Amino acid sequence: MNTHTLPPLDGLHRVSESQVEQFREDGHTLTKGLLSSDEVNAYRDVVSQAAMKYNTEKRKMEDRDTYGKAFLQIMNLWLHDEGVKKMVLSKRLARVAADLLGVENVRIYHDQALFKEAGGGPTPWHQDQYYWPIDTSNTITMWMPLVDIDVDMGMLTFASGSHKKGNVFDFEISDESEASFDKYVQENGFPIAYAEHMEAGDATWHYGYTIHRAPGNHSDLMREAFTVIYIADGAKVTQPKNKWQKADLEAWLMGKEVGMLADSQMNPLVL
């Protein structure tokens, strides 16, 4: 689709005070109808085409590890596709992110298509910010299904209130993280929360430290989801604590030095 014919996503979607309070208390919230059906249909085509074009996963499902079975993950599509860029840099999405975080402006950390194939495995419990060499907990991930989904397709599931503890464990998304986080979530009595159904264009939002997972896709359809990760403007680069943060420093922050603002060309202001 010609980017000039894509609908602009600049009209604001106001979040209520109760949503802001819920987000800060639980570490996650749901916004309904963030994109209209016409808007999401237009951008679904753009994201799906770009995801399939740049997907590098060619192994059969049975030949993949737990992480590989969880989803097809294609990152920073906004750098390669003008249509995706129009969505990622849209003011509507960024305004919700900033309002939930309580900041004036946000920067892009990166986007990613997370397509869980029919028969795809579960995404283990994890914390996103384990991977990020950023000095603030004012980080947020928007997760939007591009198709209508229900609990059989791999609904994002949260441990409410878990963001308040900061980083918990020192390992990546894996069977180990699933077992350890599951025990941790039970021991701390965090309520488990998820939507029974989400329509295309709805979106969940969660802090970088909110513990979350997704069950496997037990349907015959691809669970097409798109995420954008935002960081509060003013965030600085910290010393990487693991090999993944070292990789992120190079990949998403263009190798900026520790203590510098996280404001590389790959981290533009959005508002």
Span 122-176, pLDDT tens digits: 889 999 999 999 999 999 999 999 999 999 999 999 999 999 999 999 888 888 8
Mean pLDDT to the nearest integer, 31-51: 95
Mean pLDDT to the nearest integer, 226-240: 98
Inter-residue contact 165 to 137 (CB < 8 Å):
no
Mean pLDDT to the nearest integer, 207-231: 95
Do the domain assignments include residue 8? no
pLDDT, position 64: 43
pLDDT, position 46: 95
* Ranges of H-type helices in 117-237: 175-188
How many domains, in total, are found in the chain? 1
Do the domain assignments include residue 260? no
Do the domain assignments include residue 269? no
The tokens describing 60, both together, are: 């059969």
Do the domain assignments include residue 204? yes
Do the domain assignments include residue 12? no
Q: Identify which of 270, 148, 256, 138 has the alpha carbon closest to the alpha carbon of residue 198.
A: 148
- Residue showing tokens 């591009």: 146
Kindly report the average pLDDT of the chain as a whole number: 92
The boundaries of the domain holding residue 29 are 19-253
Instruction: Give kind and range of the element (H or E) at residue 26.
Output: helix 17-26
Angle between helices 17-26 and 91-101 (to 10 degrees): 70
pLDDT, position 58: 58
* Partners of 225 in the β-ladder: 114, 145
pLDDT, position 2: 61
The pTM of the full predicted model, rounded to 2 decimals, is 0.92
Q: Give the CATH number, domain containing residue 179.
A: 2.60.120.620
- Hey, how many other C-beta atoms are within 10 angstroms of the C-beta on 66? 16
